[in-house]
Amino acid sequence: MENTGQAAAPAAGETRGFEAEVKQLLHLMIHSLYSNREIFLRELVSNASDAADRLRFEAVSEPALLDGDGELRITVEVDAGGRSITVCDNGIGMSREEAVRQLGTIARSGTGEFLQRLSGEQKKDANLIGQFGVGFYSSFIVADRVEVLSRRAGLPAEQGVLWSSDGQGEFTVAPAVVPGRGTRVTLHLREDAAEFAEPERVRSLIRKYSDHIAFPVRLASAPGEEPETVNEAQALWTRPRSEIADDEYRGFYRHIAHDFEDPLCWSHNRVEGRREYTSLLYIPACAPWDLWSRNASRGLKLYVRRVFIMDHVDQFLPLYLRFVRGILDSGDLTLNVSRELLQQDPLVDTIRGALTRRVLDMLERLAVDEPERYQVFWHEFGRVIKEGPAEDPGNREKIAGLLRFSSTASDEETRSLRDYLAARPEGQECIWYLAADSLAGARSSPHLEAFRKAGIEVLLLHDQIDEWLVGHLQSYDNVEFRDVRRGELDLGPAGEDKSDDGAGATPPEGLLDRLKAQYGERVETVRTTPRLTESPACLALGEHDLGRQLRRMMAASGQALPPVRPVLEVNPGHALIQQLASEQDEARFADLAELLLDQATLADGGDLVDPAQFVARLNRVLLTRTGTAG
């Protein structure tokens, strides 16, 4: 039976202080979630369900833990007169040490980073708190005192524990005689939370939040009354899809993901035949706070024939899909499977491939059918998806179809590669892109001048991994990517008409050699270019040179960088280039030539070797032009 024992007098009780992080979290939680107080019951029932799951798993190898009581269940007791609500289960329970560790501390990496993310903005903080998985503490939103009576399965009745706290900074633990295994959480409600001791209010909350729980959730409407089962009490994923309402799917997502937001979409699928398994996969609407943490928990809940095995199993999806939440219930794996065995089982690779394709198909449908919702997904998880082509080359083309990029075609919307190819002018044989450190820097780059004039769209890659991404993609739909800055530019038929600008003019005699002599080994060469229609000069890369984004990534990781000498390309029709050609004073020519290279470097997003020298040189030129040079 579930834990219904009462604690003995707390002899040899011990009072301890909460961790500093718990104190901070309690304060933020109470203030951030006050307007959504009812979620405390969802969290406590969810914890009870997890405890029952864990007992069922451990009992596979140790049947004695069930102690003759294999019917796992959860009971909610309300006492309107005493203004209390109790959630009890006959699951795995806790020892004294476990109660101290699990209820008094946050034994989770990244706690400091998580707390820094909390801002005081109610909606945002509520979502983060849920994702962090500390639902037990939500009890203090409605209670001024919480008591937890627990005994771990396999321990004698005398080794129970009574944990209690008012949530103000300290908690007390004391030994207790507990007749049955499991945990009993009693909330002594605040005066303004008395509604949560009313049977009908609690009944509606159980149906709203916990109908999908795979164990019976029973409600005792008053002390001593026989409880009645309120929920469906059947694992949701085992039911036919046609019988499951969307609200039930959403409720189950909130249960497994501890998320306060609804998911963007989900996929429920049963595979039968040579391999048998059921999957229920969700795409969240918001990125988890620890998405970029190496130690973050990720992966699916694993069940074998409806028996819970373990949380956060990451072997069934690639790392670039680490944001996916859900369950996998396999009929082929053994009940005593471990993470080590999963790494060696060929069945895992088969399921992993199928689930990966299912997630990609789900995202593709979302992009086609609900583009606005897909933009929400892309904003939250786009950078993670960009890891896919390198990690999963077998699905490279499908992943490429999910990518979105800024482009010169719109200041607001992002573009898919499919849309880009559909809009390209006749004769364009590549996908043009420009990598830059920021979107603003990309839009103002002089390398785009000829493309704008010719009406050719260019993708603007301003994420720090974009250049690395394109290196792994190389092409899409058999059309190659090409950097607008790389090599000598050939726009094809669309770029042939440049009669009304000076880009195609013949350079003044001797100017290119004179500039190359000034720069020496700092540039590979100096040449004219069709890239420019308004600017005097720009820097171009050699065909095999590393771009600036890749060089910065390599430098950040401590790798040695191969030397790169850019090509300086000049627009011979520009007035500044004409001025340089006619300048006879060698000192003034040197100043102008150096300024030309410096401004091309800055426009390219590079750093000046000597900024002070640049300023001094610029001042000399300005004073000369105003006739005040000394």
Q: Quick: pLDDT tens for 376-429.
A: 999 999 999 999 999 999 999 999 999 999 999 988 889 999 999 999 988 889
Spatial distance between the Cα atoms of 619 and 167, rounded to a whole number of angstroms: 65
SS3 257: helix
The pLDDT of residue 95 is 95
Confidence of residue 132 (pLDDT cuts 50, 70, 90): low
Q: Quick: pLDDT tens for 591-602.
A: 999 999 999 999
Spatial distance between the Cα atoms of 543 and 566, rounded to a whole number of angstroms: 11
| Helical H segments across 258-404, by residue range | 339-344, 346-369, 371-385, 388-391, 396-402
SS3 187: strand
Least confident of 37-51, 65-79, 111-125, 413-427: 111-125
Closest C-alpha to 311, from 62, 63, 50: 50
| C-alpha distances out from residue 149 to 35, 91, 152, 158, 594, Å | 28, 13, 10, 12, 78
Closest C-alpha to 134, from 287, 36, 29, 261: 29
Spatial distance between the Cα atoms of 343 and 145, rounded to a whole number of angstroms: 45
**CATH topology for 404-626?**
Four Helix Bundle (Hemerythrin (Met), subunit A) (1.20.120)
Residue indicated by tokens 């060696």: 344
The pLDDT of residue 34 is 55
pLDDT at residue 107 is higher than 60? no
Question: Bridge-partner residues for 151, per DSSP?
Answer: 182
The pLDDT of residue 561 is 75
331-342 average pLDDT score: 77
CATH of domain 238-376: 3.30.230.80
442-462 average pLDDT score: 93
pLDDT at residue 542 is higher than 60? yes
Confidence of residue 7 (pLDDT cuts 50, 70, 90): very low
- pLDDT above 90 covers what percent of the chain? 55
The pLDDT of residue 9 is 39
Confidence of residue 114 (pLDDT cuts 50, 70, 90): low
Spatial distance between the Cα atoms of 435 and 56, rounded to a whole number of angstroms: 54
- Encoded tokens for 295: 């130690």
What value does the mean pLDDT of the chain take? 86
Q: Is the dihedral of CA 526, 527, 531, 537 positive or negative?
A: positive
pLDDT at residue 103 is higher than 90? no
The pLDDT of residue 539 is 92
Q: Quick: pLDDT tens for 458-480.
A: 999 999 899 999 999 999 999 99
* Segments making up each domain of the chain, as ranges: 14-234, 238-376, 404-626
131-138 average pLDDT score: 66
Give the DSSP letter string of 383-436: HHHTTHHHH-GGGHHHHHHH--EEETTEEEEEE-HHHHHHHSPTT--EEEEEE-
Least confident of 46-60, 99-113, 239-253, 359-373: 99-113
Least confident of 61-75, 214-228, 492-506: 492-506
195-208 average pLDDT score: 94
Q: What is the pTM of this model?
A: 0.75
Regarding predicted confidence, which is higher, 388 or 112? 388
**In CATH, which superfamily holds the domain spanning 14-234?**
Histidine kinase-like ATPase, C-terminal domain (3.30.565.10)
88-106 average pLDDT score: 87
pLDDT at residue 498 is higher than 80? no
Least confident of 120-134, 279-293, 481-495: 120-134
The domains spanning 14-234 and 404-626 adopt the same CATH topology: no
- Encoded tokens for 85: 């609500």
Closest C-alpha to 589, from 522, 519, 527: 519
- Encoded tokens for 420: 């880009």
57-76 average pLDDT score: 91
